[in-house]
Amino acid sequence: MPTKVYLMRHGEVANGGQKRYNGHIDVDITDLGVEQMRRLADRLASQPVSAVYCSDLIRSTKGGAIIAGRLGLDPVRVRSLRERSVGAWEGLTAEEIRENYPREYDAWRADLLNFRPPGGECLMDVHDRIMPEYQRIVASHPGQEIALLLHGGVNRVILASVLGLPLLNLFRIDQAFGGLNIIEHYEDGMTVVKLVNG
């Protein structure tokens, strides 16, 4: 039996329509976001999920609590599963970044993989933070089903990595609020992605 991972994105956030880079800012989910989490909980209710993991940011912990509660579990909060930190750019839109940090904005657009915003992480930093933790969690649940309620950027890093895609291709993977991905990890090292952004 493979280890089956239900990899989900948190619900709609309060400033979701403004396309702001929230990063480590603790933005809550909206009423619609709560409903999206309840729908995910309904989808998983009949599955033998043995553990629910989330980051320690409220948009993740709130959804994790809703899903875990429906399954009769306690969510496990893992700080290292937070969204990418964009440092001084947190809470800004791309337009605001371009206006306030024009030189850094151009450098970022020229090197999306390795550029670090002031005080923030580059994509390689996020990969190197997320993937060892993800692999540790998967390895600790052999043959079980587990749920991870995380963030758009984090999920894209995981999906690109398990699919063997160059990390820059993560921008081609959509992750809607309340979206569900299903990944199966087999003992022989084979990984099969069964669903993306469902």
- The H or E element that residue 100 is part of is helix 94-100
**10 catalytic, yes or no?**
yes
- Read off the tokens for 179: 């979206």
Catalytic residue among 12, 24, 83, 127: 83
- Cα 119 from chain centre: 21
Q: Do 58 and 75 contact (CB within 8 A), yes or no?
A: no
**12 catalytic, yes or no?**
no
- Cα 37 from chain centre: 14
Catalytic residue among 10, 127, 151, 185: 10
Place of tokens 């079980």: 144
Sign of CA dihedral 126, 129, 130, 135: positive
CA distances for 62 relative to 49, 55, 67, 113, angstroms: 18, 10, 9, 30
- The H or E element that residue 157 is part of is helix 152-162
By DSSP bridging, strand 3-9 and strand 49-54 are unpaired
Rounded Cα gap, residues 40 and 38, in angstroms: 5
Residues annotated as catalytic are 10, 83
